[in-house]
Each structure stands twice: as C-alpha cells, then as structure tokens.
Amino acid sequence: MHYFDNAATTKPDEQALNTFNKVNQNYYFNTASIHSAGRDSEKLLEASRKQVLDIFGLPNHHCVFTSGATESNNIAIQSTLNRKKRFGSTILISQLEHPSVINVVDHYRSEGFNVKFIKTTEQGRVDVDHLRKLMDEDVIFVTVMAVNNIVGAVQPIQEIAEILKGFPKAHFHVDATQAVGKVEINYENVDTLSISGHKFHGVKGSGALITRELKTMPPIFFGGGHEYNLRSGTVNLPAVAAMAKALRLSHENTDNISGKIEEYNQSIRNALAEHRSIVIQPGDVPHILNLSYVGAKGEVAVNALSEKGIMVSTTSACASKLATLNETLTAMGQSVDVINGSIRISMSKDTEEKDVDMLIKGLKEVYEEIGDVLI
C-alpha cells in the first residue's frame, strides 16, 4: 500500500506508541485521584502539558487536553462567544476553515451573530487587506486556520495578530491542526490554538486547546471539572503522553522531513507538467499537493488509484461525503471542472521515494484511463 492521505490521518509513531503502552500499563490511574498513584499520574500529565507549551514557545499560555481538534475548535468558539456576546456580535472567518469551525460559526449565525467571510487570494491565503477593512469595534471573534488542509497554504497568522492588537475586544482563534510538524509559526499573539495528535503521528482521540486566558473561558459542558473545568471527564493520559512525545519528535524533525518532502513534491509536479489536462494548485507546505484531472470526477481518480494500492483523497476526508463544491478551491477562484476533478495527495515522514515513484506511475496511468473525459 502507498499511503498519500496523511492530511486525513497519520500512522502513529513507534516511539509514541511505546509511550502510549507504557503509560497505559504503569499510569492507568485517574489523574484526579488524590492517592499517590493518582498524584504520580497527575505529575506526568503536568509534565506533558509543560512540554506542549514549551514546544510552542508559549510557556505562559495554558494547555487543555481534549479528544482532538474538532473538540478544541468547538470549545474555543463556543466558550468565547458565549461570554463575549455582550460586547459585540460580529465574527470574521476565513473561507478556508474546516467544518469543525465553519459549522460552529454557522450555528452562531443562526442565533443572530453577524458572520463575515474574509476573502481569499488565488494562492489560497487569507486576504489581509480585506480583513483590515472588515475590522471594527463590533468584531468579537476572528478565526483563521494556520495551514489549509486542502492546498497547504500557510496563512499570515502573525500579520493578522498584529492587526488585531488594535482591537482588544476581538478574540483570535487559530486552528493549527495541519501546521504541526510542517511549518514553525509564532503563535505568541494568538488567543486560542487547536491541535490534533493523530495529524502528527500521535494516537487518535488526543488533542489540545492552547489558550492565553482561562478565566475568560466558561465551560460549554459540565462535569467533574477536569482540565481547568473546560473539558470535564477522566483524562486520557496514555493518549496525552503519546501526543506530547509525537509533538516533540515532529518538532525536532520538521526541517529534515520538509526537505525530503519538498523533493517529492517537486518530482510529482515535474512528472505531470506536460499533461495539459492536469492542473496543480500552488501550495506552501510541500506535504499537501492538490491536483485536478480537469473534466473528470476526483472520486473516479481516487477509486482508480485505490485499486492500484495508492491511497489519496478527494478534497478532504471530512468533507468528501458532502455534496457541496470544495470551499477552499471555490474561494481561490477555481472553475467547477477543476474543483470537481481535484484530488489531494498528502505526505508525511513515512513517505518514501518508492511510494512517490508508484504514485507518479499511477497518476499517469489514470490520466490515460480516463483520458476521453478530460478537457
């Protein structure tokens, strides 16, 4: 099998799995128990928390462990808006966000909030000048992801944070799910940040919400008060420790891995350059490459590749069951034929040259197989 769907999920790292198993065996206690076994488990939890914050260079922020980015995004958006609604009613959102952001914001729109979309450039980046124009005293929430999950565009997070300094009422949330291990970004002036363990070789069911403030975040669901009362429920310590380990490994290896993947990305682009019915999108991180068989259906190409043992995805695994056109590509001004024919190839540290050779071969074969429908 040749796996090119790493933006959907990655293979857990062996060292992270070892950590998971060891913690499951030796620290299976409830971190809230006051006996010594519980306290030892709590120490490990706090060490993991510190490690996550240190890696992000945010030692004075707080880290709330969650089940993944969907939960982190929900807590950040719902908690902040529930508290801030008395100060204003405008939410700014990029057109590029994941459903775990868009659909929450959409819920608040139906409750009467004024939702404004920030325009996108042809490169798939947020248009900062448009954001500047949209800012006013009524804006209480701005949400922009760090790296887009469809084309891999890196968003101007620091530039946006600078603009928002002039609007202290506006909370800045960043979904950094696709950025970890791909690109180092300074999140110092971000209010809340979501990450997900399974996107960087941790285990599924692990994530974190990193927040600058705790006192301004009321819980959105209630229970025993774990994780600063923001995420009640017995903490999944094995998954947390495995995520902290995977985060450290990803962080240490970001440059090495990106170099290798950059070469693979370039080989794929070069190999397909002469195929006139294939459109390849620009992208900032090499790990994500979006290409279209113009005139065909992306789903057909995904299935044809799958039969050859090559796993890619259509626009994104989360959105692929929805019948709508992909929002990111639409926002970038792409035609319906390009959008319908698009597939996403996503790589990770586990991708090898032989996989890339097979992928290129497969992509060319599919081009021949579906050639009669291509424009």
Other residues' Cβ atoms within 10 Å of the Cβ of residue 222:
8
Residues whose CB falls within 8 Å of the CB of residue 131, separated by 6 or more in sequence, listed in order: 92, 118, 142, 160, 163
Residue 94 or 149 with smaller CB distance to ligand PMP:
149
221 neighbors 210 (Cβ within 8 angstroms): no
d(CA 304, CA 362): 9
Q: How far is the CB of 122 from ligand PMP (least distance, A)?
A: 20
Supply angle C-alpha 319, 247, 27, rounded to 5: 105
142 neighbors 90 (Cβ within 8 angstroms): no
Q: Which of residues 277-306 bind ligand PMP (CB under 6 A)?
A: none
Q: How far is the CB of 364 from ligand PMP (least distance, A)?
A: 28
Phi, psi of 38 (to 5 degrees): -65, -40
Measure Cα distances from 176 to 36, 190, 245, 337 in Å: 36, 11, 18, 30
Q: How far is the CB of 205 from ligand PMP (least distance, A)?
A: 8
**80 near ligand PMP, rule: CB under 6 A:** no
**152 near ligand PMP, rule: CB under 6 A:** no
157 neighbors 106 (Cβ within 8 angstroms): no
144 neighbors 158 (Cβ within 8 angstroms): no
Q: Which residue among the candidates 318, 325, 360, 374 is catalytic per the annotation?
A: 318
**100 near ligand PMP, rule: CB under 6 A:** yes
Q: Which of residues 171-190 bind ligand PMP (CB under 6 A)?
A: 175, 177-178
* Binding-site member from 61, 62, 98, 182 for ligand PMP (CB under 6 A): 98
Phi, psi of 343 (to 5 degrees): -130, 155
**74 near ligand PMP, rule: CB under 6 A:** no
Residue 199 or 275 with smaller CB distance to ligand PMP:
199
Residue 202 or 362 with smaller CB distance to ligand PMP:
202
For 275-366, list the strands marked E by DSSP.
278-280, 288-293, 310-311, 342-346
Alpha carbons within 13 angstroms on the beta-carbon side of residue 333 total 8
314 neighbors 344 (Cβ within 8 angstroms): yes
Residue appearing with tokens 């887009």: 148
d(CA 106, CA 88): 17
Residue 145 or 153 with smaller CB distance to ligand PMP:
145
**68 near ligand PMP, rule: CB under 6 A:** yes
Q: Does the active-site annotation cover 318?
A: yes
Candidate ranges 64-72, 211-219, 300-308, 323-331; the one touching ligand PMP (CB under 6 A): 64-72
Cβ-proximal residue to ligand PMP, closest one: 68
**69 near ligand PMP, rule: CB under 6 A:** yes
Residue 76 or 92 with smaller CB distance to ligand PMP:
76
Residues whose CB falls within 8 Å of the CB of residue 67, separated by 6 or more in sequence, listed in order: 205, 206, 207, 236
Q: Total number of residues binding ligand PMP (CB under 6 A)? A: 13
Candidate ranges 68-76, 109-117, 210-218, 236-244; the one touching ligand PMP (CB under 6 A): 68-76
Residue 149 or 348 with smaller CB distance to ligand PMP:
149
**362 near ligand PMP, rule: CB under 6 A:** no
Q: How far is the CB of 149 from ligand PMP (least distance, A)?
A: 4
Residue 89 or 178 with smaller CB distance to ligand PMP:
178
Query: In this structure, what token pair is assigned to residue 55?
Result: 């890696």
User: What string marks each residue from 185 to 224 as x (binds ligand PMP by CB under 6 A) or -?
Assistant: -----------x----------x-----------------
* Binding-site member from 55, 115, 318, 374 for ligand PMP (CB under 6 A): 318
H and E: helices and strands count for the chain: 11, 12
Catalytic positions are 318
Interface positions with ligand PMP (CB under 6 A): 68-70, 98, 100, 145, 149, 175, 177-178, 196, 207, 318
